[in-house]
A = this chain, B = another copy of it.
């Protein structure tokens, strides 16, 4: 079975849980975009994804991309599907109307990309990079570059890449060696080799726009000497630029997306942004890109869940335990969906998907608020939310995408391990999301070391208070969630203090801190969902109640565990420092 988007589930989270339509419509650019229009866009997107993109998922995996003498062929059907995607205006959903876009809220784009990833992760990699390139060029490109490239990228007529990684420079971009030499005509000659370039070469669009991290002559060593160059595959005069694809990688999965080794041989390019400010130019798109990766985790987990759920409603093995009605006496084997071990897997993964969505969509709304709110304070608050929560979601949702898909595979027994059912493809595909856009370990360090600790935890504390204030302490589930948010604030202070005595401590507890943050925030999400599910009409209450119960029983206990782990690490450091002071 192919993945099928369910707009109802999304609408419940966006509308009943988050109140997103009203919040968005309050922003000037979206004044005309009411809840009905938003819902309509999503219905249309669901139809397109389900009918045009999902059916190509299997062939993307089995046939994959082919490399031949520098050229890359996309899997059968991909070029036509991509053209339909462009023709439907989907790449330009959230781009400004002035650039040929539709000017819709980023949150709708986020939902679209969650569905696309769930339906066909390999296909989605191609347009997935457009939005970052668009934002980057829009903010940092010269007028001339924008005139030439911005609308082509906004509409998806030309695809784009991010050329960052080199063989010796992965998480450590400061080691990038690709060189860019300024020419008399204002252009650059770019030379160097890049690896892991998604969509570096393909036959989906006539031109490909590469954004290349490079070094100008005499640039300082390290990350502060990096610049960003725009290097097109095809030059404005129609000739081919000196940009070559040397090979595509054989990977664990994601065969529908070519992962290219690219070589720039004195290729012609142009500077984007200031010299030596290349990383800053790229950071513009960081939060949105990482949020989209988090949504890949959620989407692919939902794809795995759909498969497992369908299988569990069809496969029969053994009778379920416990007393059963006499009327079932003649059934030798029950649906496996009735067995507690299977039920637990399905409900627990549902809890991750729905809770993760609430947090991810809230973050997408905040991206819109940060950009468009008339009140600078509201903008700043939204910006702060995105900075803090994005790395949490990127790491936690992709990890769950992988471990949860593995759980869903388990529902199939031996059938899960064979290709036939497609569940093993999900597991292979989603694994990459834990690595790219900054490994999950890097996200944890980004959160704790770069975001939380520099101000002693003040900004994080403000985010947590914001969440606390949205809960109603008279409800038990809310009060519990508030208690956890308070515990997390206290923990943050403990780390900040202990870090004075042991500067490497934050690096040692960063993963646990990220997890405990995610679980506290999921607690908020499920309190909000629980409230909304109690009053919303036309929803399947039992579906949400089962996931809520699974969240509290099977997911949430990790909160106390991680809290304890970080606490003990802090206490050990503090005790050692005290002992040293008294010695």
A441-B171 CB under 8 A given contacts A250-B420, A252-B424, A420-B250: no
Question: How far is A377 from B347 in the complex, measured between Cα atoms in Å?
Answer: 45
A435-B417 CB under 8 A given contacts A321-B504, A341-B441, A508-B340: yes
- B569 x A564 contact (CB < 8 A): no
Scan A159-181; emit 1 where CB is below 8 A from any B CB, else 0.
Answer: 00000010011111011000000
Question: How far is A410 from B554 in the complex, measured between Cα atoms in Å?
Answer: 25
Choose among A168, A252, A339 the residue with the greatest number of B CB atoms under 10 Å from its CB. A252
A414-B196 CB under 8 A given contacts A553-B569, A558-B561: yes
Which chain B residues lie closer than 8 Å to A174 at the CB level?
318, 332
* A439 interface residue per 8 A CB criterion: yes
Choose among A435, A503, A511 the residue with the greatest number of B CB atoms under 10 Å from its CB. A435
Which of A79-87, A425-433, A464-472, A539-547 is the interface stretch? A425-433
* A322 interface residue per 8 A CB criterion: yes
* A561, chain B: closest CB distance, angstroms: 4
For chain A, residues 539 to 583, give those with C-beta under 8 angstroms from any C-beta of chain B.
Answer: 553-554, 557-558, 560-561, 564-565, 568-569
Question: How far is A82 from B505 in the complex, measured between Cα atoms in Å?
Answer: 51
Scan A204-246; emit 1 where CB is below 8 A from any B CB, else 0.
Answer: 0000000000000000011000000000000000000000000
- Which of B320, B435, B507 interacts with A413 by CB under 8 Å? B435
Which chain B residues lie closer than 8 Å to A418 at the CB level?
249-252, 259
The quantity of this chain's copies bound in the complex is 2
Which chain B residues lie closer than 8 Å to A342 at the CB level?
441
* A95 interface residue per 8 A CB criterion: no
Choose among A222, A317, A406, A416 the residue with the greatest number of B CB atoms under 10 Å from its CB. A317
Question: How far is A507 from B409 in the complex, measured between Cα atoms in Å?
Answer: 20
- B417 x A439 contact (CB < 8 A): no
Choose among A222, A254, A414, A439 the residue with the greatest number of B CB atoms under 10 Å from its CB. A414
Choose among A339, A340, A342, A558 the residue with the greatest number of B CB atoms under 10 Å from its CB. A340
For chain A, residues 370 to 410, give those with C-beta under 8 angstroms from any C-beta of chain B.
Answer: 402-403, 406, 409-410
- B553 x A557 contact (CB < 8 A): no
- B507 x A321 contact (CB < 8 A): yes
* A211, chain B: closest CB distance, angstroms: 18
Scan A36-75; emit 1 where CB is below 8 A from any B CB, else 0.
Answer: 0000000000000000000000000000000000000000
* A496, chain B: closest CB distance, angstroms: 15
* A510 interface residue per 8 A CB criterion: yes
Question: How far is A420 from B424 in the complex, measured between Cα atoms in Å?
Answer: 21
Which chain B residues lie closer than 8 Å to A339 at the CB level?
507
Which chain B residues lie closer than 8 Å to A316 at the CB level?
168
Which chain B residues lie closer than 8 Å to A439 at the CB level?
410, 413
Scan A236-277; emit 1 where CB is below 8 A from any B CB, else 0.
Answer: 000000000000011111100001000000000000000000
Which chain B residues lie closer than 8 Å to A444 at the CB level?
341
- B557 x A564 contact (CB < 8 A): yes
* A580, chain B: closest CB distance, angstroms: 15
* A323 interface residue per 8 A CB criterion: yes
Task: Beyond the given A340-B504, A416-B435, please list 13 additional residue pairs across the A-B interface where CB-CB is below 8 A.
Answer: A170-B414, A175-B333, A222-B332, A250-B418, A251-B418, A252-B424, A320-B504, A322-B503, A322-B504, A342-B441, A406-B434, A410-B440, A553-B569
CB<8 Å pairs between A and B, sample of 26? A168-B316, A170-B414, A172-B317, A175-B317, A222-B332, A251-B418, A251-B419, A252-B428, A253-B417, A254-B417, A320-B504, A321-B506, A322-B507, A340-B504, A340-B510, A341-B441, A341-B507, A344-B508, A344-B511, A403-B403, A406-B431, A406-B434, A410-B440, A424-B431, A557-B561, A557-B564
